[in-house]
Amino acid sequence: MLPNDKKGFKAAKNDKFSTHALLNENDNDQSLSSDEQDDIFFLIYRKAHTLFQAGKLWMRRMRYHDAQRAFEKAITRLKTCKTSSFEQQCRKKDMLIALFESLMICFNKMRQSRCVCYVMKELRLLTINNPSALALCQHGRALSDLGKYHPSRLCYIKALKKRPRDQGIKDKITRISKRITELEDTNQMLSQLSI
């Protein structure tokens, strides 16, 4: 195509194929060697890592919607990416855990507590029901925002078992326990008044 050939440029611009199609693996494609398939994983992994860094930057700038989009895009790319070795599986899992935890923080900052609970379900599946203390704290915060104080306290207690010396978690447990006793006292008073 010549630089001055506008018809060729328009045809290339309107072409249905894009560079993203190069990153999708096709099971029936026999033209790729195993080394090239490994390279495709690392291309997608690098792109996901770049999106993760961009999301962290957006969070520092308090642009949580932009951060959310970056994290979700990286999660989608990594979830559909196939791995061919144990090392790649480990890298993929670690990156997905970091992305999910960052997404939970993001949703909590935007006061989207239900979304935090949905992300926690994904994280529990990924970690075989063994999420990190950070994820448990974020889930506890979301549950307390939804008014579910007993499950929230359980999340914080599980987080404290993972980080026994964390004073912040102890303070949150104390605050929620105080809130639960206040609610129980209020409910008891209301039940006595209704009699």
Residue 185, domain member (yes or no)? yes
Residue 72, domain member (yes or no)? yes
Q: What average pLDDT score do residues 135-153 get?
A: 96
Residue 5, domain member (yes or no)? no
Domain range for 148 is 131-195
Looking only at Cα atoms, what is the longest distance across the chain?
Answer: 90
Residue 65, domain member (yes or no)? yes
Is residue 87 within 8 Å of 108, Cβ to Cβ?
no
Whether residue 100 is found in the same domain as residue 55: yes
Q: What average pLDDT score do residues 39-46 get?
A: 89
Residue 24, domain member (yes or no)? no
Residue 68, domain member (yes or no)? yes
Whether residue 98 is found in the same domain as residue 42: yes
Residue 20, domain member (yes or no)? no
Model-level pTM greater than 0.85? no
Per-residue pLDDT at 17 exceeds 70:
no
Continuous H helices in 110-132: 113-126
| Segment 81-121, tens digit of pLDDT | 988 899 999 999 999 999 999 999 999 999 999 999 999 99
CATH of the domain at 182: 1.25.40
Q: Rounded to the nearest 5 degrees, what angle is found at the Cα of 146, between the Cα atoms of 140 and 148?
A: 65
Residue 61, domain member (yes or no)? yes
CATH of the domain at 57: 1.20.58.80
Is residue 155 within 8 Å of 131, Cβ to Cβ?
no
Whether residue 105 is found in the same domain as residue 39: yes
Domain count, the chain: 2
Whether residue 82 is found in the same domain as residue 139: no
